[in-house]
Amino acid sequence: MKRILLSVLGILALAVATLTPAFAQSKGTVYYMVPTLLDEFQTGSVSALELFLKQVGYEMKTLNADNKTDAQQSQMNDVIALKPKAIILAAVDFNALKPSIEAARAAGIPVVEFDRQITSTPSDFTSVAGTVEIGHVAAEQAEALLKAKNGAVKGKILQVLGDPGDPYT
């Protein structure tokens, strides 16, 4: 939940800095390119972003890629042709969407990288969780659990690694 709040605050900062005053008639459409709707973070993000963008006068449309890179690439191409006010992108694949990001920016469409940072090409704004802080929180929790179980910080801890290209693993 904290991750959702921090990410939404990042989007809020972008909107305050770049969007015109709120409460006007519809200012256009912003597309949220979501990798999947199978996890709580993504579904929570959709709700939070819809609420905020509505409050500042934008319509939001969400496109779910079902964790398929080719689907998200196709969706990006379709959305670029629609010329939305902005695209919020949570990429399925960090590098595969580089050409789509570059095409959107070349078309004058701001791209916000959300939740998943893409370092291979510039974006207009990036909103991601603080992975270093997340590591500190995890370490503190592991310490507390070891103390509760063993009376001291001793014992074995299993570290499960995920995709090496994913900054959250």
CB 67 within 8 A of CB 35: yes
Q: Is residue 59 part of a domain?
A: yes
C-alpha dihedral sign at 69, 71, 11, 162:
negative
CA distances to 11, 58, 74, 92 from 100, rounded to whole Å, are: 20, 23, 9, 12
Q: For residues 34 and 91, what is the distance between their CA atoms, to the nearest angstrom? A: 7
Q: What is the CATH number of the domain that holds 106?
A: 3.40.50.2300
Give the pLDDT of residue 17. 52
Number of domains present in the structure of the chain: 1
- What is the rounded average pLDDT of the residues 151-165? 78
Higher confidence at residue 64 or residue 114? 64
Give tens-digit pLDDT for 6-42: 555 455 555 555 554 544 578 999 999 999 888 888 8
Q: Is residue 139 part of a domain?
A: no
| pTM of the predicted protein model | 0.66
Q: Is residue 79 part of a domain?
A: yes
CB 58 within 8 A of CB 129: no
Q: Is residue 140 part of a domain?
A: no
- What is the rounded average pLDDT of the residues 107-123? 81
Q: Is residue 157 part of a domain?
A: no
Q: Is residue 81 part of a domain?
A: yes
Name the residue range of residue 123's domain. Answer: 2-127
pLDDT band for position 114 (cuts 50, 70, 90): confident
Q: For residues 151 and 164, what is the distance between their CA atoms, to the nearest angstrom? A: 34
Give the pLDDT of residue 142. 87
Q: For residues 115 and 29, what is the distance between their CA atoms, to the nearest angstrom? A: 20
Q: Is residue 155 part of a domain?
A: no
Q: Which two tokens stand for residue 126?
A: 């990036």
Q: Is residue 33 part of a domain?
A: yes
**Residue 149 pLDDT more than 60?**
yes
Give tens-digit pLDDT for 38-90: 888 888 888 999 999 999 999 999 999 999 999 999 999 999 999 999 999 98
